Amino acid sequence: MVQRIRLRYTKRGRLRFTSHRDFQRAFERALRRAEVPMAYSAGFTPHPKVSYANAAPTGTGSEAEYLEIQLAERRDVDRLRELLDESLPAGLDVVDAVEACTSSFADRLEASVWELRLEGVDVAEAEKAVAAFLAAETVEVQRLTKNGMRTFDARGAVRRLEALPAPADRPGDGACAILRLVVRHVTPAVRPDDVLSGLRATADLAPPVPAAVTRLAQGLLDEETGTVTDPLAPDRDGAPAASTAAAGPTAAQQVPEGSG
């Protein structure tokens, strides 16, 4: 291993319905198109060394997905990000990159901030449901897993939950409430749809159409304020001044037009 790069990417628009496996295939194609000098695993079937962290469920959008790649040759971090972004479909956008200079990156993904758009739900109704959910000590919900139906508490993982009015310039009309949710990453994982199930159980909140769900951030949780901080900041702050100075031949090459 010569260099490790940590990337933040998005899932926007129709690409929110991309499964994690589909994204893996698209990303590995992007690595080949951008001619990234990847490090490979040993064995009879070597694979590029890519580590994915806490991927969002299929059907949810995200502004904060993360992965790490290991390179066999050094590259300029900013140029590498540009090449990968150009090589991916629009909607799967590589928006940040840093050279890894710390360990235990996955441990810094302690919590997520989610936005749930509830079309057809009045803000006052959403506020009442949120108050009932937060007042409960436990909120048991059920989810079908590969091991069968599982019952667990959706309340304990929720650090913050609030109801907000939709932006005035949103498309469409009619009632719409926005839920802003901060949830700890626990086992079993508590997902936004689990919280919606909990709101239905505690306050009979049932949006007439499925909620549009987007992850806005994930990272370290500040327990005092309930905010989630940038998990790449320790690498960015600790990077040596010359860490991105060595740009190899690939960094100067162009990706074919219309590829991303």
Residue 245's pLDDT band, with cuts at 50, 70 and 90, is: very low
If one counts every other C-beta atom within 10 angstroms of the C-beta of residue 128, the result is 14
- Supply the pLDDT for residue 259: 39
Report in angstroms the alpha-carbon separations of 92 from 11, 19, 60, 62, 89.
5, 12, 13, 10, 6
* Both tokens assigned to 46: 């070597």
What letter does residue 173 receive in the DSSP assignment?
Answer: -
> Residues 85-144: pLDDT tens digits?
999 999 999 999 999 999 889 999 999 999 999 999 999 999 999 999 999 999 999 998
Residue 239's pLDDT band, with cuts at 50, 70 and 90, is: low
- Supply the pLDDT for residue 155: 97
C-alpha 158 chain-centroid distance: 17
Is pTM beyond 0.85? Reply is: yes
> Residues 22-80: pLDDT tens digits?
999 999 999 999 999 999 998 888 999 999 999 999 999 999 999 999 999 999 999 99
- Supply the pLDDT for residue 81: 98
- Supply the pLDDT for residue 91: 96
> Is the separation of the CB atoms in 57 and 194 below 8 Å?
no
Reply yes or no on whether the pLDDT at 249 is more than 60: no
Domains of the chain: 3-107+231-252 (3.30.70.580), 110-229 (3.30.70)
Omega before residue 188 within 30° of 0, cis? yes
- Supply the pLDDT for residue 248: 40
Reply yes or no on whether the pLDDT at 1 is more than 80: no
Q: Residue range 209-218: average pLDDT? A: 97
**CA angle (165 as vertex; 162, 166 as ends), nearest 5:** 120
Reply yes or no on whether the pLDDT at 252 is more than 70: no
Residue 240's pLDDT band, with cuts at 50, 70 and 90, is: low
> Residues 172-210: pLDDT tens digits?
778 999 999 999 999 889 999 999 999 999 999 999 999
Catalogue the long-range contacts made by 22-26 (C-beta closer than 8 Å, 24 or more residues apart).
23/55, 23/92, 24/50, 24/52, 26/88, 26/89, 26/92
